[in-house]
Amino acid sequence: MISKTVKYYIRSKICTVSSVLFFLIPCGFAVFFWKLGMTGFTLLHTLSRYNFYCCAFLAALSFYFISSADRNHVKEAFECGGKKAVYENHALLFMLVQVLFWNSAMCIILILCSMENDASSYFISWFFAGYLCNMFIPQVICVFLTYLVSASGNPGRMLTPEILFIFLISPFAEEIVWEQKPQFPIDYLWKKIRWPFQILYQNGVWSPDVQNDLQMERVRIYLLVFWLLFLLFLAASCIWNVKPVSAAAGIFAAVFLVLSCQPASVYRLNSSWDGINKDITDYEVHVNDHTLKKPDADIFSITSYQLGMALKNELAVEGNLELEASRKCRDFCMTLYHGYAVKELYANTKGVTVQFKQQNDFIFIHADTAVAKLSIHIQYEGHHNKYYANSCAVMLPGWFPWYPMAGKRQVVLEYPEYGKMWGYSPYNRIKKANISIRTNQAVITNLSDKGGNLYEGTEDSITVLGGNIKKLKDEVAADVLPLQLYAGYGEEEFLAKQKEDYFQSLEKLKNAYGVDVSELEHKRLVFASKDLGRNVTNNHLAVFDSYILAVPDYISVDDFLHYLILQDGKNQKRREQSPLIQMVMFSNIDDSAGDIVRQWTEEIRLQNEKPEYMELFMEAAKTCGSERLVKEAVQYALYPQKWECDREFFEMVLNKTEK
């Protein structure tokens, strides 16, 4: 029977030509991109991004083929003797075999591409699950759904729900987002309606995060399983009439749908107001003042963290904190990002009872007795839309209050000297504390790995990273992102480059610009993916006591300089008023001094600064030379309070030269 069905398929010109095109075009493009030098990961991301079109094409082809018997009025005769949907069953089987062949071919292309263009075999050992979830299973779902429509007895009428399904899974439906919070929560309704249809890789127009998986969160897996079971339930109950299978599939489908709706940390890049840009609304960025302020004097510090971290759908933390105050007090305030809800908080200290209140980013603890030392037990869970933490990947930088920090901290900062730029404060540090965290899976942290997922150390922060990230045994670099490497730029080359960047940057900062680099030297480099600082400012690099958390290739003179300049919150407004400092901040300080001065000259001319400004600038450049001028300008940018205005600075430079 199957051979007859295949024969019919081959005889049908529409089917044959469609199949040939379906194989040739995507495989052709895949081979083309492979030969262009795309890495395995990039190629898989590209395929995942365009899989919707493959699914839509498959659905159309499947509909045409599987509903053939009904369309040609053969179905009823075929079903004589109780053989319900006999043709459709064989047609489905054949379509699924084609899908299997197509995907096998794609997998082979991906493996060959990776073998040729990748630096290691990491991708080959990693990609299969991501491929299944982003390519194969969505195609199977579309074909199976089409089978149900075709075998329903009224394919014409059932086509409308299928077209709606195709629309809801499409990138076009993805584009329907609200960038501003609407008055009526229509966006919430739309998201709830659309969630079950997010079976394909989302937001493919954005470049992927190499550290994060290809959206392999548990909730998404549950969703895929839900669809498979739901379609099985429909087939078993409406077509195959197998009641036990139908009952079991229906029950489990419902379970997985519910599981998929759990709160979860899912990293999705879209322009929705409550997506990765949620904090713009939450913190009223550009409405309130978020310039860096001097923190209040801490009356207490957290001297010990004993935490258990469970990375499942989102982050769940439970553990003990030791609070130590300079004097006895009853009130303690800690900062914890408002996306993490405190479930439980009580005092371990004998004879002390505490009450707590969580308000925005702050946890207010009130003890019934004034104490200088307080031990508390805390349990919280939740997630942040950008700094994800789930069973697949983790991006929890040490400057972000994903763990309680003593005192009131600024979570976001605005940079007036950069116009409307904003970012998360990379300057939050805790007083050095004894830290012990136990996780439910291996991670990379700034702490020492004690084995058995236990990490300990005495540090000024807790950074936790996970996902497509590989620990290194190097003295300087703690880790590498294997999916970022490619043939000719493997681990060795990567390490060599990052170290070279680091040491050369320090040297230039010190020698060329007279910057005190003592706080920057002798640090371990801990790398996270580019998404650490994506779409925000001043988050690509941060300097801690024992390590630097950075994005690869973002360890440069420019990055260090901006980090140091922006750390000085007091003089932000002063910098904003200085055209010269603005030019320093917007220049590529890694360029040669001559090029920099030429750029500045052009900049001054374009900005129509007063003629005497240009004259002063040109005189300074001519008199002290480009190198010295740039060096002095860098110092000015770092310490603007030393001069009232640019004129005074130029006069200083000229006077110094004259002396």
Q: Please give the residues from 185 up to 214 whose contact with another protein meets the rule CB under 8 A.
A: none
Print the binding letters for residues 74-113 with another protein: x by CB under 8 A, - otherwise: x-xxxxxxxxx-x---------------------------
Nearest 10 degrees: Cα torsion 111, 116, 122, 128: -10
User: Going by C-beta distance under 8 Å and a sequence separation of 6 or more, which residues neighbour residue 94?
Assistant: 2, 5, 6, 9, 65
| Residue among 518, 645, 530, 524 at smallest CA distance from 581 | 645
Q: In this chain, which stretch among 2-10, 25-33, 294-302, 621-629 interacts with another protein, using CB under 8 A? A: 2-10
Nearer Cβ to another protein (246/385): 246
Residue 88 CB, shortest distance to another protein, in Å, is: 13
Q: Rule CB under 8 A: is residue 4 a binding residue for another protein?
A: yes
| Residue among 424, 406, 309, 398 at smallest CA distance from 364 | 406
**Spatial contact of 647 and 653, defined as CB atoms under 8 Å apart:** no
**Cα 15–21–23 angle (5° rounding)?**
100
Residue 234 CB, shortest distance to another protein, in Å, is: 18
Three-state secondary structure call for residue 215: coil
Residue 245 CB, shortest distance to another protein, in Å, is: 18
Residue 280 CB, shortest distance to another protein, in Å, is: 54
Nearer Cβ to another protein (11/294): 11
Residue 489 CB, shortest distance to another protein, in Å, is: 53
DSSP state for residue 207 in the 8-state scheme: P
The size of the chain, in residues, is 659
| Residue among 588, 575, 593 at smallest CA distance from 632 | 593
DSSP 28-81: HHHHHHHHHT--HHHHHHHHHHHHHHHHHHHHHHHHHHHTHHHHTT-HHHHTTT
Strands 362-382 and 354-359: antiparallel
**Spatial contact of 114 and 123, defined as CB atoms under 8 Å apart:** yes
User: Going by C-beta distance under 8 Å and a sequence separation of 6 or more, which residues neighbour residue 657?
Assistant: 623, 624, 628
Q: Rule CB under 8 A: is residue 183 a binding residue for another protein?
A: no
DSSP state for residue 134 in the 8-state scheme: I
Print the binding letters for residues 429-448 with another protein: x by CB under 8 A, - otherwise: --------------------
Print the binding letters for residues 57-76 with another protein: x by CB under 8 A, - otherwise: -----------x---xxx-x
> How many residues lie near another protein (CB under 8 A)?
21
**Spatial contact of 260 and 220, defined as CB atoms under 8 Å apart:** yes
> How is residue 306 written in tokens?
């004993």
Nearer Cβ to another protein (12/358): 12
Place of tokens 């600064």: 609
Q: Please give the residues from 251 up to 270 whose contact with another protein meets the rule CB under 8 A.
A: none
Nearer Cβ to another protein (3/655): 3
Nearer Cβ to another protein (82/488): 82
Q: Please give the residues from 550 up to 569 whose contact with another protein meets the rule CB under 8 A.
A: none
| Residue among 522, 524, 558 at smallest CA distance from 540 | 558
Which residues sit opposite 524 in a β-bridge? 547
Residue 149 CB, shortest distance to another protein, in Å, is: 19
Nearer Cβ to another protein (77/287): 77
**Spatial contact of 299 and 431, defined as CB atoms under 8 Å apart:** no
**Spatial contact of 567 and 291, defined as CB atoms under 8 Å apart:** no
Nearer Cβ to another protein (158/565): 158
In single-letter form, the type of residue at position 412 comes to V
Residue 161 CB, shortest distance to another protein, in Å, is: 19
Residue 71 CB, shortest distance to another protein, in Å, is: 8
Nearer Cβ to another protein (2/164): 2
Round to whole Å and give the CA distance between 435 and 405.
13
Nearer Cβ to another protein (12/320): 12
Residue 80 CB, shortest distance to another protein, in Å, is: 4
Nearer Cβ to another protein (42/89): 89
Q: In this chain, which stretch among 6-14, 94-102, 431-439, 481-489 interacts with another protein, using CB under 8 A? A: 6-14
Q: Please give the residues from 587 up to 606 whose contact with another protein meets the rule CB under 8 A.
A: none
> How is residue 190 written in tokens?
């739309």
Residue 224 CB, shortest distance to another protein, in Å, is: 33
Nearer Cβ to another protein (14/189): 14
Q: In this chain, which stretch among 5-13, 389-397, 412-420, 508-516 interacts with another protein, using CB under 8 A? A: 5-13
Round to whole Å and give the CA distance between 75 and 516.
83
| Residue among 481, 457, 459 at smallest CA distance from 471 | 481
Print the binding letters for residues 8-47 with another protein: x by CB under 8 A, - otherwise: x--xxx----------------------------------
Nearer Cβ to another protein (76/331): 76
Which residues of the shown chain bind another protein in the complex (CB under 8 A)?
A: 1, 4, 7-8, 11-13, 68, 72-74, 76-84, 86
